[in-house]
């Protein structure tokens, strides 16, 4: 059986693409990957997704999107991993779990991106208990209001996170390995002029401290080796993202950073292959922007198939 549309990824982009493709009677197949629902399932409260005035649990939001996609006829392959792709022919071949092969006329890549982690003790254990990777998503939560907060990083993303958090935290410590920021000059100047921001130069986080919630971080001066502790209620890690695109290397054009190159809406350099969500978006990385990109990808795939059928 040759599929009309196959979607790889089950975050906001993937489920939205599935909803639109299914409603267009394209009978899409969605491959969830090993983390159904993607990163949003690890977020307890999503307060900035339209339509939920009290916020919504990230897992529940993904479950509702899944149910909506299945209602319109999306077929789902759960807990499966794409291990190889062949996009060299008109009909694409997707290999799942190294054994199952799926043929498809179009492909929507919605594999998302994963947070780059510090890899220090306490980070994983205190995730969702004060350790977070998105200030826009979590910064306004009550647990962080009027509390000292730590942002780790020195680029534009870290500066944007820290600036955003000054609205809520009492003090925002910006911990960076160097003695100057890598961010753009205008961003760095604006941040350092904010009285709530305290840069912690030449320092690296060695451990996140806490029990039921974050209470501080242990840091070390990278030059002197002297260790110290910063008391805080939240640790916002902003050291970048890693797009989940390794399996497509050599098959489609990727940026040096690994993000999929897109043009003319959701199109890639391979006709019939479309992209949506955080695997192509290194700037916004929000649930709502990923959903919008999923919509675009499904509509582009539908129009591509209609044009192919008209030519036949």
Report the number of distinct structural domains present in the chain. 2
CA distance linking residue 82 with residue 163, whole number of Å: 38
Q: DSSP H helical segments within the chain, as ranges? A: 12-23, 58-71, 135-138, 156-165, 185-192, 287-311
Final residue before a domain boundary, out of 187, 210, 237? 237
Q: Does residue 264 sit in the same domain as residue 194?
A: no
Give tens-digit pLDDT for 201-248: 999 999 999 999 999 999 999 999 999 999 999 999 999 889 999 999
The parts of the chain modelled with pLDDT lower than 70 are none
**What integer pLDDT is reported at residue 109 of this predicted model?**
98
What are the tokens at 158?
């870290």
Residues 225 and 255 in one domain: no
- Residues with a catalytic annotation lie at 134, 137-138
Nearest to 70 by CA among 8, 112, 10: 10
- Domain with 8, as residue range(s), is 2-114+241-311
Task: Please give the Cα distance from 217 to 229 (Å, whole number).
Answer: 6
Of 215, 237, 259, which residue is a domain's last? 237
Residues 229 and 186 both lie in one domain: yes
> 146 and 231: one domain?
yes
What CATH number did the domain enclosing 69 receive?
3.50.50.60
| Residue 105 sits in the same domain as residue 178 | no
Per-residue pLDDT at 60 = 95
Residue 62 CA: distances (Å) to CA of 10, 41, 59, 80, 200: 8, 7, 5, 17, 37
107 and 254 in a single domain? The answer is yes
Q: Are residues 7 and 105 in the same domain?
A: yes
Same domain flag for 121 and 233: yes
pTM for this prediction: 0.79
Q: What is the pLDDT of residues 68-104, one digit of tens each?
A: 999 999 999 998 889 999 999 999 999 999 889 999 9
* 101 and 180 assigned to the same domain: no
Report the alpha-carbon distance of residue 268 to residue 296 in Å, rounded: 13
Note the maximum CA span of the chain: 71
**Domain ends where: 237, 252, 270?**
237
Same domain, 141 and 108: no
């Amino acid at each position: 059986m040759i599929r009309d549309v196959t979607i790889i990824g089950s975050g906001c982009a993937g489920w939205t693409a599935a909803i639109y493709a299914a409603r267009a009677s394209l009978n899409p197949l969605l491959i969830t990957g090993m983390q159904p629902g993607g990163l949003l399932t690890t977020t307890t409260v999503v307060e900035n997704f339209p339509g939920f005035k009290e916020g919504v649990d990230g897992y529940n939001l993904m479950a509702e999107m899944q149910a909506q996609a299945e209602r319109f006829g999306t077929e789902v392959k759960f807990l499966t991993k794409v291990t190889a792709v062949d996009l060299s022919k008109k009909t694409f071949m997707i290999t799942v779990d190294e054994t199952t092969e799926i043929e498809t006329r179009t492909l929507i890549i919605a594999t998302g991106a994963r947070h780059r982690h510090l890899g220090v003790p306490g980070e994983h254990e205190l995730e969702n208990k004060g350790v977070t990777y998105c200030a826009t998503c979590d910064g306004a939560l009550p647990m962080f209001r009027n509390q000292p907060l730590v942002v780790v990083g020195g680029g534009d993303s870290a500066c944007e996170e820290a600036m955003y958090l000054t609205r809520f935290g009492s003090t925002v410590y910006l911990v960076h390995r160097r003695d100057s920021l890598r961010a753009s000059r205008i961003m760095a100047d604006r941040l350092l002029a904010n009285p709530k921001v305290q840069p912690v130069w030449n320092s690296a986080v060695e451990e996140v401290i806490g029990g039921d919630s974050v209470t501080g971080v242990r840091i070390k001066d990278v030059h002197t080796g002297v260790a110290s502790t910063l008391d805080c209620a939240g640790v916002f890690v902003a050291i970048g993202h890693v797009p989940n695109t390794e399996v497509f290397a050599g098959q489609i054009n990727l940026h040096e950073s690994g993000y999929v190159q897109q043009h003319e809406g959701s199109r890639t350099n391979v006709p019939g292959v479309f992209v949506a969500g955080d695997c192509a978006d290194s700037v916004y990385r929000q649930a709502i922007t990923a959903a919008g990109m999923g919509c675009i990808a499904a509509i582009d795939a539908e129009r591509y198939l209609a044009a192919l059928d008209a030519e036949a």
